[in-house]
Every structure is written in structure tokens, then in C-alpha cells.
């Protein structure tokens, strides 16, 4: 057994794997599928969040590459390779785009090779690290990205796993502080919302059974991650409704894009 295989825990559902299950992937275990089905019973809409979040990622990266001229991306909490990963969307617009992926799940590491096949003109790299290890991430990212030029910082569905509010804001702030003006933050986050009470039951089930624990925040609290940035229209909204290609129902996963002045 390799070191990576030894780190894969198939006794408890893991977020990367359940996300993969809900988006139709095959890189998950029975324990993930069972929990995924139970959560879907508690909140039938939840699978749609994962799909809406991936589509939001695609629209945001396309905007950054096409409209904002971003050619470098730091995608933390990458998840298991899926259709339209960040480098694929970015390199369709700009073949020379560079992407550094970061995740702390061993199964994502095991599948990382799929993330490292980009265009000959571009570059991708993968880092097995924790979002909280900001210095390690920045030092490693600087081997592939020029941090003196704008970067698209992708934090989709990942700061929800930093339970302490102050620490979660500080991590995002420290990452942004290290990036050049013109950099953009793309962030999505599960929310508590009075109109969607059954999300809370699904999250409570996850926190009893899955790993890592997840923290919901209010839409206002999610907007605070963008403090000091120029928040792009339409602001922090259900990620399904961030510049949608077609009219979409709201989801309890909010997202936004902000530009560092
Ligand atoms: C809900 S998935 C989101 C995946 C992808 N960003 C997306 O939006 O489709 C969360 C991902 O964050 C990763 N993750 C959770 N906590 C993390 C941490 N502290 N540091 C790095 N990655 C983390 C998980 O392993 C998982 O792959």
C-alpha cells in the first residue's frame, strides 16, 4: 500500500468524495454514497448545489480569463477532478493560463494527475496542503505563478471548513494581501437562510457523520470575505444566479467575485 492509499479513510464520508458523488462522479466509496443519499433525503435540493457550484466556477473563470485578462489561478479546495476543471476553462480562453491546485484530501492527491494535463503553453501544478497553511501555499504557488501579476484566487466551498470565523476571514485576507492589484477572489459558501430551513438538518447530519465539519454562515457574513475588494455585479448571491447562462432556481450556496483594487 502506498503512503497516499494508507491515508484514504473509507470508514467515514469525506467532503471531496460526496461532492464527487453528487456531481455524478465515480471517485467515491459506499460510505460516501450512503451519506450522500441520506443528506438528499433530508434536503432534496442539495445535489443541485454541487452542480450549481461547478457551473458557477466555470462562469467565473471564463469571466476572469475573457474579461479581466487573468492568466493565473490559485484554486484551493479543488476537489476531485471533474468536467471543466479550472485549467480547462481558463486554457480554452487563454492556452497559456497557469493554475495551481491545492487540496488536503488524499484521494484528491491520488487523482491529481488528471489535473496536471494542460495545454503545452500553459502550466498546472498540484499541492497537497491545508488552506490554513497560507505561507506554505504561497511559497509553493510562486514556483508556478508570478505573484507580482494578478491571480484569480478560487475558494469554492472550502472556507466553510474553517470553523472559527476570525480564522476564516484572516486566512482569506492573508492570501489576498499577498496577491497583486487586479487579482480577483471567487468564493462560494453554504449559507443559513430562513427560506431554506431543511439545509440546517442536512448540515447537522453531515457534522455528526462526515469529515471535515462544515460551518454555515449568513449571506452577510459571506459578503465580508470581500471587504476591501470591488464586488462585481450582481454581488454575493445564490451561486446559481451569478450571471447565469439561463434562468436558475436559488441554492443555499452563495457566491461572488471581487477585484482587488
Ligand atoms: C465541497 S468540495 C468543493 C470542491 C470544488 N472547489 C468545487 O467547488 O467544486 C471541498 C473541497 O475542499 C477540500 N478541503 C476541505 N478542507 C480543506 C482544507 N482545510 N484545506 C484544503 N482543502 C480542503 C476538500 O478536500 C474538498 O475537496
The confidence score (pLDDT) of residue 96 equals 97
Query: CB-side exposure of 94: number of CA atoms within 13 Å?
Result: 20
The confidence score (pLDDT) of residue 207 equals 93
Question: For a pocket test of ligand 1, which of 7, 52, 79 has the largest count of ligand atoms closer than 8 A to its C-beta?
Answer: 79
The confidence score (pLDDT) of residue 125 equals 95
**How far apart, in whole angstroms, are the C-alpha atoms of residue 128 and residue 7?**
12
- Where are the chain's structural domains? 3-259
pLDDT digits (tens, 9 = 90+) for 27-49: 999 999 999 999 999 888 888 88
Which H or E run includes 137? helix 134-141
Angle ∠(125,53,212) on CA atoms, nearest 5: 70
The confidence score (pLDDT) of residue 194 equals 79
Angle ∠(108,112,113) on CA atoms, nearest 5: 155
Distance 198 CA to ligand 1 centre (A): 23
Query: CB-side exposure of 161: number of CA atoms within 13 Å?
Result: 19
Question: For a pocket test of ligand 1, which of 17, 87, 100, 103 has the largest count of ligand atoms closer than 8 A to its C-beta?
Answer: 103
- In percent, the amount of the chain with pLDDT more than 70 equals 100
Q: Global pTM?
A: 0.96
Ligand 1, closest atom to CA 105? 25
Which residues form ligand 1's pocket by a CB distance below 6 Å? 15-16, 19, 53-54, 57, 77-79, 103-105, 108, 130-132, 156-158, 161, 212
Which H or E run includes 221? helix 219-223
Which H or E run includes 122? none
The confidence score (pLDDT) of residue 130 equals 98
The confidence score (pLDDT) of residue 1 equals 76
Q: For domain 3-259, which CATH number applies: 1.10.645.10, 3.30.930.10, 3.40.50.10210, 3.40.50.150?
A: 3.40.50.150
Average pLDDT, the chain: 94
Distance 244 CA to ligand 1 centre (A): 23
Sequence-distant (6+) residues with CB within 8 A of 51 are 22, 23
Q: Look at residue 74 and give its three-state secondary structure.
A: strand
For the chain, which residues score pLDDT lower than 70?
none
Amino acid at each position: 500500500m502506498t503512503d497516499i492509499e494508507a491515508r484514504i479513510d473509507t470508514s467515514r464520508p469525506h467532503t471531496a468524495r460526496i461532492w464527487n458523488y453528487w456531481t455524478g462522479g465515480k471517485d467515491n466509496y459506499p460510505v460516501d454514497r450512503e451519506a450522500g443519499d441520506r443528506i438528499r433525503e433530508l434536503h432534496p435540493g442539495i445535489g443541485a448545489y454541487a452542480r450549481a457550484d461547478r457551473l458557477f466556477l466555470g462562469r467565473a473563470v471564463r469571466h476572469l480569463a475573457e474579461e479581466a485578462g487573468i492568466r493565473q489561478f490559485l484554486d484551493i479546495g479543488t476537489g476531485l477532478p471533474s468536467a471543466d476543471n479550472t485549467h480547462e476553462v481558463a486554457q480554452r480562453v487563454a492556452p497559456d493560463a497557469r493554475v495551481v491546485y491545492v487540496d488536503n484530501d488524499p484521494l484528491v492527491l491520488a487523482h491529481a494527475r488528471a489535473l496536471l494535463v494542460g495545454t503545452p503553453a500553459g502550466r498546472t501544478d498540484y499541492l497537497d496542503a491545508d488552506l490554513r497553511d497560507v505561507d506554505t501555499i504561497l511559497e509553493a504557488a510562486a514556483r508556478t505563478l508570478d505573484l507580482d501579476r494578478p491571480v484569480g484566487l478560487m475558494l469554492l466551498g472550502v472556507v466553510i471548513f474553517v470553523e472559527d470565523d476570525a480564522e476564516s476571514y484572516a486566512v482569506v485576507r492573508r492570501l489576498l494581501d499577498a496577491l497583486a492589484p487586479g487579482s480577483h477572489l471567487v468564493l462560494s459558501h453554504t449559507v443559513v437562510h430562513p427560506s431554506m430551513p431543511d439545509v440546517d438538518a442536512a448540515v447537522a447530519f453531515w457534522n455528526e457523520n462526515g469529515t471535515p465539519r462544515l460551518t454555515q454562515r449568513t449571506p452577510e457574513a459571506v459578503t465580508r470575505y470581500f471587504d476591501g475588494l470591488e464586488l462585481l455585479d450582481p454581488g454575493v448571491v445564490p451561486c446559481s444566479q451569478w450571471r447565469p447562462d439561463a434562468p436558475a432556481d436559488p441554492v443555499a450556496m452563495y457566491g461572488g467575485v471581487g477585484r482587488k483594487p
